[in-house]
Structure 1
């Protein structure tokens, strides 16, 4: 599936900001099954300094500095990517979860950095006793790792209610567990923490999810949103799991970045001088395309 995506982040400040510095995770990540045809980042007012590099996790990241007074800052990313339909995943054919746990703890050489680092606690994901207790029924002895992962994803979807008013980016997982309510970020953090609690490497993935309008209704431009899901290692590779929607990620999912949690891959973060508060507006549009439209 070929997509054209546009993501605009707008900050309206209470007073003029003379200087601001930002780190932006809004470029699509090339990976197996996802081809990036082009990407463009624009900033208004213009950035005096802009650099594009790869972060520690291999994600494209942009650093920018705006060095003129501004009351409004617009950061817009545009891209075209192709996402392939992944091959079928046979959860029953995966090794027992204990074997995956033991292999992950002893991965040798160059593969260790890519796998082992997603076993440990991170700033926003620290496995709690109540999380491990909740996940335990999905991990009986000898169960195939893929079956355990998919079952845990299904249970989170069934037991937790999507509620955008229930949490913020700072809500701790203990509160999410108690309320049984949250958003995709919370559910991805929960699944990451529960899997890591059983020795399964799990990484937090940020990106976009293609949404479909009701039958007979036009697609609403700008009505899409950022999304988050989990990529879990099952011994023979990674499988992407979306607890928010109880489905394996497929060609409807566009990957921007992955890390240990949201803090590693937040779309825009930065430091400003002045400003006296701000109002944030985000608009995302994910448009499926027919045919080749690669030239930017």
Structure 2
């Protein structure tokens, strides 16, 4: 599947900002099943410095600074991405979850050492005791890890209600658990917490989701949004497998991966520091547009 993604972020300030510095995670990752064919970053006002590199997790990150007074900032990221289907892993064929948990603590292989960093609590995923009881309802003794993960994903989807007014970017998972309301970021963080408290490795994935309009309705340009899900380490053979608790589905060709880390704070699309500015307002517009496959040339 091929996509053209346009992500526009605008800030309006009540007072002039003389200087700002920003960090951007907006360029999709290159993966075995995903190719970023083109990426363009347009910033207004023009930055006096901009640089690009890979961060600790291998994500594409850009840094830019503006040193002229401005009352607004616009950041437009345009990507062209190809996403391939990945082979389905039979859940029952994956190892027992306890086997994975034990291996993460004892095996010194590079893959497991890399996964082990995603076992611990982090700024956005602070563990609390009630997570154990919730997680163990799915992770019964000897159950294959992917089978248990799928069950946990379904339970979160069923028992938690999507409500964009219920939380903000700083809401912790104990509050999400108490109110059973939230958004994709909250559900991903909560499921990650359930897995980590059992000694399993789970990472937060930031990206986009193709949305399909209701029958008979046009696709609304700019009405999409950033999305979040999680990836779980399921053993040497299965590797990392992505699941989406907001929609109760495995990640598919509808999911476009931008970045991953321990939680949202590692992969925030745009974050930075400004001097002055007074009150400010942010608006975001995201468009995930499927592109028609190329038509073969006539013979």
Q: What TM-score, normalized to structure 1?
A: 0.97
2:126 aligned partner? 126
2:291 aligned partner? 289
Aligned partners of 2:14 and 2:278 also within 8 Å: yes
Aligned partners of 2:126 and 2:172 also within 8 Å: no
1:186 aligned partner? 186
1:20-169 to 2 correspondence within 5 Å?
A: 20-169=20-169
> Cα offset for 1:112?
4.0
Structure 1 stretches lacking a partner, 5+ long: none
Instruction: State the alpha-carbon separation in 1 of the partners of residues 65 and 264 from structure 2.
Output: 23
Of 263, 266, 280, the residue aligned with 1:264 is 266
Return structure 1 stretches of 4+ with deviation > 4 angstroms.
none
> Cα offset for 1:172?
1.6
Instruction: State the alpha-carbon separation in 2 of the partners of residues 250 and 257 from structure 1.
Output: 16
> Cα offset for 1:179?
0.3
> Cα offset for 1:110?
2.8
Q: For residues 42-94 of structure 1, give each alpha carbon's deviation from its aligned partner in whole angstroms, at most 9, with x where no partner exists.
A: 10001110000000100000000011111010001001000011111211110
Instruction: State the alpha-carbon separation in 1 of the partners of residues 219 and 185 from structure 2.
Output: 25
Q: How many residues are paired up?
A: 293
C-alpha spacing 1:112/1:142, structure 2 compared with 1 (3 Å): closer
Aligned partners of 2:139 and 2:148 also within 8 Å: yes
Q: What TM-score, normalized to structure 2?
A: 0.96
Give yes or no for the alignment of 1:251 onto 2:235. no
Q: For residues 91-142 of structure 1, give each alpha carbon's deviation from its aligned partner in whole angstroms, at most 9, with x where no partner exists.
A: 1110111111111222324324421110111111022111121111101111
2:244 aligned partner? 242
Aligned partners of 1:38 and 1:79 also within 8 Å: yes
Structure 2 stretches lacking a partner, 5+ long: none
Instruction: State the alpha-carbon separation in 1 of the partners of residues 294 and 177 from structure 2.
Output: 45
Instruction: State the alpha-carbon separation in 1 of the partners of residues 294 and 207 from structure 2.
Output: 22
> Cα offset for 1:170?
1.1
Aligned partners of 1:241 and 1:248 also within 8 Å: yes
Instruction: State the alpha-carbon separation in 2 of the partners of residues 48 and 107 from structure 1.
Output: 47
Aligned partners of 1:25 and 1:266 also within 8 Å: yes
Instruction: State the alpha-carbon separation in 2 of the partners of residues 43 and 71 from structure 1.
Output: 14
RMSD between aligned residues: 1.1
Greater shift in the superposed pair: 128-137 or 266-275: 128-137
C-alpha spacing 1:228/1:265, structure 2 compared with 1 (3 Å): same
